[in-house]
Amino acid sequence: MGTGVVTVRLPKLIATSVVRGSQKGQSHGGVYLVDFGAQQVDQVIDWNSGEIDFAGRGWDRGLRGIEFTADAVWIAASDELFCYSPDFQLIASYRNEYLKHCHEISRKDHLLFLTSTGYDSLLVFNLNTRAFIWGLYISKNGQDWIGQRFDPNARGGPPFANNYHINMVSVSDAGIFFSGLNTGALLRVNAEMQVAMVCSLPTGCHNAQPFKGGVLFNDTASNVVRAVDRLGQSFAQKIILYPEAELDYAGVDSSKVARQGFARGLCVIDDQCVAVGSSPSTITVFDVQADRRLTGVNLTMDIRNAIHGLEVWPF
């Protein structure tokens, strides 16, 4: 475990993974605690449920976005939100008709925001009442982005379309920020539910989020993690690639199943360091200020197994 020389103290991270193209009875990914300081990885959940709806969950199967409350860990699957204790005992799970192909989640106070990729929407879950309370359907009229609020518990919601493949949401006092493979931009929702472009992004991005007055994102189509700050200074580092001979299941590599170098999963450790996920399941820590790779860990060489969610472990 590890590449390069680490000169900063790194926290423990939590990561989820998905396994593309796996079959019933096989693992569909899991949840890992990664301690760079102790040089230790613990798999705390193996997601191999026999109840998975194979017809409805698409190519990506497994666990995705991660968030926390004071006494719980919240993890999203494609169409279900799970609540775990900090020692990963399942407490409860929640579904909604308009939650489909969820990718990332983000908490602000007692509200949890989830990307509903299949419905071009964001859903909001009230952590106090444990209920989905409203949604925001995203569409476009010419060059103008439109946000339409809807009731996720009533009929007549948005169509199942996946036009923009919304895969990221990041919520703060500055607003609700989101993006997708096909948005071509980082977008912001204000208190009046108006949607505006923050900055342009290349097609095929994951995990775009505000960072140091600029933007940080996985340029997945280019196998690069990038950041641009408010002064226009940029950071770009290539995702780790392995010799083909070292990969497992390399024969299934395709755009519909898996490819190595696929960058997804991104968390800010501090103003200096970020952690990036990629396929086959690898977590790499970069020093943004020094524009260099610090260290990394590979969890498996199975090309189908890719990191999805990635956060600093708070417990």
Express each pLDDT in 285-299 by its tens digit.
Answer: 999 989 999 999 999
pLDDT score at 58: 38
Asked, for residue 263, whether it belongs to a domain, the answer is: yes
pLDDT number for residue 139 = 97
- pLDDT at site 25: 44
pTM of the model: 0.91
Q: Averaging pLDDT over each range in 56-65, 147-156, 248-257, which range is the top one?
A: 147-156
CB 286 within 8 A of CB 295: no
Residue 50 has pLDDT above 90, yes or no: no
pLDDT band at residue 51 under the 50/70/90 scheme: very low
**Which range, of 35-44, 111-120, 127-136, 257-266, averages the lowest pLDDT?**
257-266
User: In which band, very low, low, confident or very high, does the pLDDT at 257 lie, cut at 50, 70 and 90?
Assistant: low
Predicted confidence at residue 2, as pLDDT, reads 45
Are residues 293 and 245 in contact, defined by beta-carbon separation less than 8 angstroms? no
Please classify residue 281 by burial: count the beta carbons closer than 10 Å to its beta carbon, then call 0-12 exposed, 13-18 middle and 19+ buried.
buried
Of 158 and 56, the one with more pLDDT: 158
**Number of folded domains that form the chain:** 1
Q: DSSP of 277-297, one letter per residue?
A: EETTTEEEEEETTTTEEEEEE
Residue 231 has pLDDT above 90, yes or no: no
> pLDDT band at residue 304, thresholds of 50, 70 and 90?
confident
For residue 2, is it within any domain?
no
Domain assignment present for residue 5? The answer is: no
For residues 171 and 130, the answer to whether their CB atoms sit within 8 Å is no
Cβ contact 74:45 at 8 Å = no
In-domain check, residue 163: yes
User: How far apart are alpha carbons 20 and 7 in whole angstroms?
Assistant: 35
Exposure class string for 155-183: b at 16+ Cβ within 10 A, else e: eebbeeebebbbbbbbbeeebbbbbbbeb
* Helix spans in 62-111 (H): none
Condensed to tens digits (0 to 9), the pLDDT of residues 166-183 reads: 999 999 999 999 999 999
Question: Is residue 49 over pLDDT 60?
Answer: no
pLDDT at 6 over 80: no
Q: Which of 55-64, 105-114, 184-193 has the lowest average pLDDT?
A: 55-64
Instruction: Note the Cα 35 to chain centre separation in Å.
Output: 20
Percent of the chain with pLDDT over 90: 74
**Domain that includes residue 80, residue range:** 12-312
1 is a domain residue = no
Q: Is 62:47 a contact under the CB 8 Å cutoff? A: yes
Report d(CA 163, CA 145) in Å as an integer: 13
Classify the C-alpha dihedral 85-93-128-67 as positive or negative.
positive
> What is the pLDDT, as a whole number, of residue 305?
87
CB-CB neighbours of 284 under 10 Å: 24
Q: Is 7 within the bounds of a domain?
A: no
Which three-class secondary structure state does DSSP give residue 147?
Answer: strand
Residue 301 lies in a domain: yes
Residue 231 belongs to domain with CATH number: 2.130.10.10
The owner of tokens 């990885």 is: 41
Q: Report the pLDDT value the prediction gives residue 37, as an integer from 0 to 100.
A: 86
pLDDT single digits (tens) 76-92: 999 999 999 999 999 99
The pLDDT of residue 256: 53
**Which tokens hold the place of 20?**
């593309």
Partners of 238 in beta bridges: 224
CA atoms within 13 A on the CB side of 38: 9
**b/e code 75-113 from CB counts within 10 Å (16+ = b):** bbbbbbbbbbeeeeeeeeebebebbbbbbbbbeeeebbb
Distance from the Cα of residue 146 to its chain's centroid:
23
Per the domain annotation, does 124 fall within a domain? Answer: yes
